[in-house]
Amino acid sequence: MGKLTDVAIRNWIKAGELFEGRSDGEGLSLRYRERDGAPRWLFRYQFAGKARVLQLGSYRDLSLADARKISKEMRARVVLGFDVAAQKSERKRAAVAKIEAERSVVTMSMLADEYFEARILGHWKHPNIVRSRIERDIKPAIGRMPVGEIRPKHIDAMLKGIVARGAPTMANDVLRWVKRMFDYALKREMVLNNPAAAFDPSDAGGKEEARTRWLTRDELTRLLTALKNAKGWTYENSLTIKLLLMLAVRKSELVMARIAEFDLVAGIWHLPAERTKTGAAIDIPLPRQAVALLGELVRLAGGSAWLLPARKVQTRMFPHIDPNTINAAMAKSIRPLMGGCEVFSVHDFRRTARTHLEALGTFPHVAERCLNHKVKGVEGVYNRHDYLQERKAALQAWADLLTELESGDAEKVVPIQHKSPRRERVSHATTRALFQAKR
């Protein structure tokens, strides 16, 4: 039977009595130093002719009965030839080494973020396109895996998952970026091989064909009707879809727009150069209907600087709505209401607008500028006129058509009346002469 008791130990603690070691017998003793905080259990033994000490733990965590039990187990191990103190030290070293190894492991998420910072951010005009693929496709699939453990089968499963959700083009994009990320990792000796190297578009989304999808008048009527009847579909989403159709702008240009860009009194959207695909600023004339829709979005923004502020806390913390919000919401709530209508995307709205603009009598070069496409060839070099008034008339006619389609009376829409029956074509030499004369 031991010499220590719980009553005696508690009294020593209460009195603040410190001591270097009080034996319980059989190698078990208790120590209470000022820096200990609470008495600590020690197991003393001889191994290979040398005195050894093993700390068992604090009295706060280990009762007298438990300490005696552990001490008995340790004595038995010593008799069998085990140096229990050395084993504990080795386990501690192994645990520390494991922690250090885990800290030094590079995961796919870490590689993707480093690649984005080094090669995309500050180098690409629209870095959020790449960031979207990283956050939506790469990280959820393989983000937590150490890069050295990623195998071709993991790449294959990720690509198949993207294709399965109906996004083959995205699968091609992801494959392209993952290849580049692993090449980046190879150069920095993070990995020994590129697990995506053997894959090509046939393993992802296949060869990409130019899209030709556009919505007819009947399909537009069905779409605008669905916007009114869809469940789980917000008013802000309806306003956004109508504006994307009406103004024929790129989704990112509207989603990332600041309210300060819009002059609703003058009816002009001053789209800055840093947010256009062409790298050139453009003034977009706003039809009457667009001014009304934008006014509603400004009201709903509740004082935010953004036209479409984030509606909830997001992982990526965009100040505006996530670029994928409209696509996802439309796929879930709108398309099911359109019956057998061929699948379409938000990107098809620009092609739809371009087709109907020309059907309304808009000259091709004006319709191209409505989509903020550069005028091609020699004329694009010498002709710097931006056709603001012509675009204003064209977009107003297009907005009027959408209004009539929504009301079910599209026959009232009158095509644009041009001042001349045909577009006058000026020769290269004449254009150059006029340009030099102005200089």
- Give the pLDDT confidence of 74-96 residue by residue, as tens digits: 889 888 888 888 888 777 777 76
In the prediction, which pLDDT does 428 show?
A: 40
Residue 403 burial (CB count, 10 A): 19
CATH 1.10.150.130 fits 108-203, yes or no: yes
In the prediction, which pLDDT does 181 show?
A: 96
Q: Is the pLDDT of residue 158 over 50?
A: yes
Pick the CATH number of 217-438 from 1.10.443.10, 3.10.310.10, 1.10.600.10, 1.10.3210.10: 1.10.443.10
When pLDDT is averaged across residues 142-159 and rounded to a whole number, the result is 95
Q: Which residue has the higher pLDDT, 341 or 2?
A: 341
In the prediction, which pLDDT does 103 show?
A: 64
In the prediction, which pLDDT does 313 show?
A: 57
Amino acid identity for residue 244 in this structure = L
Q: Which CATH class is domain 6-104?
A: alpha beta
The Cα 8–Cα 12 span in angstroms is: 6
Q: Over the chain, what is the mean pLDDT?
A: 85
Whole-number Cα distances in Å, 108 to 41, 104, 214, 421, 427: 45, 13, 38, 60, 56
In the prediction, which pLDDT does 338 show?
A: 85
Q: Is the pLDDT of residue 314 over 80?
A: no
When pLDDT is averaged across residues 391-407 and rounded to a whole number, the result is 95
When pLDDT is averaged across residues 141-163 and rounded to a whole number, the result is 94
Q: Is the pLDDT of residue 205 over 80?
A: no
The Cα 39–Cα 24 span in angstroms is: 13
Give the pLDDT band (50/70/90) at residue 99: low
In the prediction, which pLDDT does 232 show?
A: 82
* Domain map (residue ranges) of the chain: 6-104, 108-203, 217-438
Q: Is the pLDDT of residue 231 over 50?
A: yes
Q: Which residue has the higher pLDDT, 199 or 164?
A: 199
Residue with tokens 């993707």: 112
- Are both 6-104 and 217-438 of the same fold? no
User: For the purposes of burial, counting CB atoms within 10 Å of the CB of 138, is it exposed (0-12), middle (13-18) or buried (19 or more)?
Assistant: buried
Torsion of CA 67, 72, 76, 82, to 10 degrees: 20
Q: Which residue has the higher pLDDT, 96 or 171?
A: 171
Phi, psi of 2 (to 5 degrees): -75, 170
Strand order in the sheet with 282-285: 262-263, 268-271, 282-285
Q: Are 244 and 252 in contact (CB under 8 A)?
A: no
Q: What is the pTM of this model?
A: 0.57
Using only the alpha carbons of the chain, give its radius of gyration: 36
Q: Is the pLDDT of residue 126 over 70?
A: yes
Q: Is the pLDDT of residue 296 over 90?
A: yes
- DSSP single-letter state for residue 119: I
Whole-number Cα distances in Å, 191 to 137, 162, 259, 431: 21, 25, 46, 58
- Give the pLDDT confidence of 7-63 residue by residue, as tens digits: 999 999 899 899 988 999 888 999 999 888 899 999 999 888 888 888 888 998 899
In the prediction, which pLDDT does 419 show?
A: 54
How many helices and strands, by DSSP H and E, does the chain display?
Answer: 18, 7
- Give the pLDDT confidence of 232-289 residue by residue, as tens digits: 899 999 999 999 999 999 998 999 999 999 999 999 999 998 888 777 899 999 999 9
Region of 206 please: left (phi>0), alpha (psi -120 to 50) or beta.
left
Q: Is the pLDDT of residue 383 over 60?
A: no
Give the pLDDT band (50/70/90) at residue 377: low
In the prediction, which pLDDT does 279 show?
A: 79
